[in-house]
Amino acid sequence: MVVDELLNTVVPYCLLKDKNGNEFSLDMYKGTPIILYFYPKDNTSGCTQQACELRDLLSEFKKHKCLVFGVSKDEFKSHENFTSKFDLNFPLLSDSDGVLCEAFGVWKQKSMYGKTYFGIERSTFYIDDSFTIRHIWRKVKVSGHWDIVLKTINSFNK
């Protein structure tokens, strides 16, 4: 079994900009549990299913006082359209420069139909209130993923 080098480490520091151009860092939320999920692209079938399933379960995450952030390399305009179109009730972060993707190790070489390219590996991170990465899901399969995440969070919060 391969152990993920980020597990049980403090969240890597990365500075991004929010949709208004203001500086944004996860450090702003120290002391609050965070679900940080990385997805390949707005408005694609798998990413839409994943976001909508999360939208529908968000109240369950709030019971654990978890903040939820979705991250892709899409620009803010794309995020705004995606959020509006599917009535998403959690923030999406734009990592157009790939700083956060690199820090969390989700920018990977992929292949499809014999062609190789780089893209975001669908991944989710549970960060506890001490700002430590407590659980990592890599190569996420969309269907039922959020139920698995909730079950894991429940086990941490017993």
CA distances from 74 to 2, 4, 42, 123, 158 (A): 30, 26, 7, 16, 37
Q: Tell me how far apart the alpha carbons of residues 146 and 53 are, in angstroms, rounded to a whole number.
A: 7
Question: Which neighbouring-strand residues pair with 119?
Answer: 108
Burial 41-77 (b: 16+ CB within 10 A, else e): ebeeeebbebbebbbeebebbeeeebbbbbbbbbebe
- Is residue 66 among the annotated active site residues? no
- Considering 47, 52, 66, 101, which one is annotated as catalytic? 47
Catalytic residue set: 47
